[in-house]
Amino acid sequence: MLNPSKRLSRPLVWAFCILAIAASCFAGGLYVGRAGTTKAATSVVGDKTVEGTGSFPPAGTVDNKMLNFSQFWDLWKTLKLKYYDNVSEEKMFYGAMSGMTAALGDPYTSFFEPKIAKEFSDSLKGEFEGIGAEIGVRNNQLQVIAPLPGTPAEKAGILSGDYILGINGTSTEGMVTEEAVTLIRGPKGTTVTLKIGRLPKSKSPASKSAATSTKEEPIIKEYKIKRDKITIKSVILTWPKDGIAMIAVTNFNQDTDVEFKAAVDEALAKNAKGIILDLRNDPGGYLDRSTAISGEWVGDQVVVSERRKGKIIDEFRGTGNARLKSIPTVVLVNQGSASAAEIVAGALQDYGLGKIIGMKTFGKGSVQDYSEFDDGSAIKITIAEWLTPKGRSINKSGIQPDIEVDRTIDDYNENRDPQLDKALEYLVSPTTTTAK
């Protein structure tokens, strides 16, 4: 039986939250009810009751009338009788459900066995042990979406966009995120070795144009990372220049709206003349936190729309008081900005209330519904996609910056931040700052 569901706006897969921060699920008021079941037979295996072992699926759930569901049980019986070794019926059962979701070909639609589902729920508490990196699958390859500030992953030198080629000597070819999480996570103080493939970043516009003409080979290196307890502060206020407040939002978790409001209070109290909203490497989170933050600029206007099967089914409005509407604002984004971060950036860009500087965002603009079964297992299903107020799809497309500025590997190593420099330049003299 399915329990009341939650909505997820997190990029890629649930594994993000286990490795790095609180998951991006949020209350959406959506309820997935239990479909009627047709019980052709009921039997007992061990202490578990087996239901629905007939040839008929639940009424109204299958369009193809030629499908014979008794074939599933024929296969089950054949494996039990002929496989050379003892088989775990529980593994077969959960494996079949995982295979059904994987067949959809959507990296955001996943089935979780009870143990994994519990870890997912536990991660919502915002404290856990791991390396502090958001990961997911892009182009059928495990990839780092973003290392979180101050975490073991960042300290080890892991960067957004890195490909994870191996984990503790095991190749990740064809590996789903759930399996990767099982291998990467572990107790505080233990070590995990990641084989990383990193595409070299250009050092100048000239080298960039030359690099695009030939296929770049990744630089491969192994990183040994000591796991630690991960606790993420979601909002950080700094003053990179007199009168310019920079509010970095690392993720949209349970406390983000409260912390962000406090940062805005301080910025206004100190008469900030410009605001830099730093959403770089922010993998997203709770939807209502994104509408609360956006509302500090857009008020109660539409922040994001939800589209399903070509139709707008819902709109979500800002919940702030537009206190920052009249203050010049720059939003910093990069390839690690995703989901709720893209919602905020897209809204401010559409309303002309923030100049977007950096690199194109990740492009995770789909809605996930999360529901738990009675046995503790769970299902996360993509049910819709996000649109900006002007109707632009965030999913796969991402948010294109108004002013494109990269931050190269050399910039990181030398502690340079040309994206921040461009933001400060724009706020000081916006009329002379142009896109490159």
Which DSSP string corresponds to 231-258? Answer: E---EEEEEEETTEEEEEE--B-TTHHH
The answer to whether 204 is a known catalytic residue is no
Mean pLDDT of 248-253: 91
Looking at per-residue pLDDT, the higher value among 29 and 117 belongs to 117
Residue 35: pLDDT above 70? no
Confidence of residue 332 (pLDDT cuts 50, 70, 90): very high
Looking at per-residue pLDDT, the higher value among 417 and 21 belongs to 417
Residue 23: pLDDT above 70? no
In a domain, 206, yes or no: yes
Same domain, 201 and 268: no
Q: How many domains does the chain have?
A: 2
Same domain, 416 and 295: yes
Contact partners, residue 34, CB within 8 Å, separation at least 6 = 1, 2
Same domain, 289 and 325: yes
Which residues face 223 on adjacent strands? 194
Lowest mean pLDDT among 23-32, 191-200, 313-322: 23-32
What are the counts of helices (DSSP H) followed by strands (DSSP E) for the chain? 12, 23
Q: Of 176, 5, 182, 8, which Cα lies nearest the Cα of 98?
A: 176
Looking at per-residue pLDDT, the higher value among 30 and 257 belongs to 257
Distance CA 382, CA 386 (A): 11
Percent of the chain with pLDDT over 70: 79
**Residue of 110, 337, 339, 371 marked active site:** 339
Where in the sequence is the domain holding 172, given as residue range(s)?
A: 127-231
Mean pLDDT of 364-371: 85
Same domain, 209 and 320: no
Looking at per-residue pLDDT, the higher value among 6 and 368 belongs to 368
Lowest mean pLDDT among 57-71, 205-219, 314-328, 404-418: 205-219
Residue 229: pLDDT above 70? yes
Distance CA 177, CA 187 (A): 19
Same domain, 358 and 411: yes
Half-sphere exposure in the Cβ direction for 209 (13 Å, CA): 2
CATH for 145? 2.30.42.10
Distance CA 80, CA 87 (A): 7
Mean pLDDT of 106-114: 86
Confidence of residue 122 (pLDDT cuts 50, 70, 90): low
Residue 206: pLDDT above 90? no
Average pLDDT, the chain: 81
Q: So what's the pLDDT on residue 204? A: 35
Residue 159: pLDDT above 60? yes
Residue 33: pLDDT above 60? no
Mean pLDDT of 205-219: 51
Q: So what's the pLDDT on residue 125? A: 54
Same domain, 298 and 405: yes
Mean pLDDT of 184-190: 90
Residue 27: pLDDT above 60? no
* Domain termination site, one of 231, 259, 279: 231
Looking at per-residue pLDDT, the higher value among 187 and 212 belongs to 187
Lowest mean pLDDT among 40-54, 132-146, 397-411: 40-54
Mean pLDDT of 81-102: 92
Residue 42: pLDDT above 50? no
Same domain, 214 and 343: no
Q: So what's the pLDDT on residue 140? A: 78
Residue 380: pLDDT above 50? yes
Same domain, 146 and 280: no
Give me the long-range contacts of 162-166 (CB less than 8 A, separation at least 24).
Answer: 162/196, 162/197, 162/198, 163/196, 163/197, 163/198, 163/218, 164/135, 164/194, 164/195, 164/196, 164/197, 165/195, 165/196, 165/197, 165/220, 166/193, 166/194, 166/195, 166/222
Q: So what's the pLDDT on residue 201? A: 62
Lowest mean pLDDT among 72-86, 189-203, 220-234, 393-407: 189-203
Same domain, 332 and 259: yes
Q: So what's the pLDDT on residue 393? A: 94
In a domain, 318, yes or no: yes
Lowest mean pLDDT among 34-38, 352-356, 431-435: 34-38
Most confident range, picked from 17-26, 108-117, 292-301:
292-301
Same domain, 403 and 286: yes
In a domain, 94, yes or no: no
* Domain termination site, one of 191, 211, 231: 231
Same domain, 425 and 291: yes
Which residues face 194 on adjacent strands? 167, 223
In a domain, 19, yes or no: no
Same domain, 299 and 394: yes
Q: So what's the pLDDT on residue 430? A: 66
Residue 11: pLDDT above 50? no
Q: So what's the pLDDT on residue 325? A: 97
Residue 300: pLDDT above 90? yes
**Residue of 195, 364, 380, 422 marked active site:** 364
The answer to whether 290 is a known catalytic residue is no
The answer to whether 55 is a known catalytic residue is no
Residue 157: pLDDT above 70? yes
- Condensed to tens digits (0 to 9), the pLDDT of residues 172-186 reads 987 877 678 778 888
